[in-house]
Amino acid sequence: MDVHGTVAEGFEPVRDAFAANFTGLGDRGAAVAVYRHGRRVVELWAGTRDIDGTGPWRRGTAQVVRSATKGVAAAVPLLLHQRGRLDLDAPVGTYWPEFKAHGKERVLVRHVLGHRAGLPVLDRPLTPGEALDPARGPEAVAAQAPAWEPGTDHGYHALTYGWLVDELVRRVTGRSTGAWLADEVARPLGLDLWLGLPPAEEAAGRAGRVGAAPETEPARGLRMRPKRAVTAAYEDPGSLTRRAFAAITPFPDQNDAAYRAAALPATNAVATAEALARFYAALIGEVDGVRLFAPGTLALARAEESAGPDRVLVVNTRFGLGYMLHGSASPMLGPGSFGHPGRGGSLGFADPETGIAFGYVTNGFRKTVTADPRAQALVRAVRTALDAG
Domain count across the chain: 1
Instruction: Indicate whether 35 pLDDT > 70.
Output: yes
Q: Are strands 356-362 and 347-351 parallel, antiparallel or unpaired?
A: antiparallel
Please give the distance of CA 97 from its chain centroid, rounded to a whole number. Answer: 28
* Separation CA 257–CA 268 (nearest Å): 11
Distance (Å, rounded) from C-alpha 40 to C-alpha 68? Answer: 20
Task: Name every residue whose Cβ is closer than 8 Å to that of residue 229 and which is 6 or more positions away in sequence.
Answer: 314
pLDDT by residue (tens digit) across 79-132? 999 999 999 999 999 999 999 999 999 999 999 999 999 999 999 999 999 999
Inter-residue contact 228 to 105 (CB < 8 Å): no
- In angstroms, rounded to a whole number, what is the distance separating the alpha carbons of residues 47 and 273? 14
As a whole number of angstroms, the distance between CA 252 and CA 274 comes to: 26
What is each CA distance from 378 to 43, 245, 345, in whole angstroms? 12, 27, 12
Read off the pLDDT of each residue in 308-317 and give the average, rounded to a whole number: 95
pLDDT band of 218, cuts 50, 70, 90: low
Q: List the domain range (segments joined by +) for residue 147.
A: 3-388
Q: Give the residue from 188, 181, 186, 140 showing the smallest Cα distance to 164.
A: 140
- Could you tell me the CATH number of the domain that includes residue 151? 3.40.710.10
Name the residues annotated as catalytic. Answer: 67
- Under the banding of pLDDT at 50, 70 and 90, the label for residue 173 is very high
What is the SS3 assignment for 133?
coil
**Full 3-state SS string of 9-61:** CCCHHHHHHHHHHHHHCCCCEEEEEEEECCEEEEEEEEEECCCCCCCECCCCC
CA distance 148 to 311: 10
- At 219 the pLDDT is 39
| pLDDT tens-digit readout, 220-255 | 333 344 467 778 888 899 999 999 999 999 999 999
- pLDDT tens digit string along 327-365? 998 999 999 999 999 988 999 999 999 999 999 999 999
Percent of the residues in the chain that have a pLDDT greater than 70, as a whole number: 97
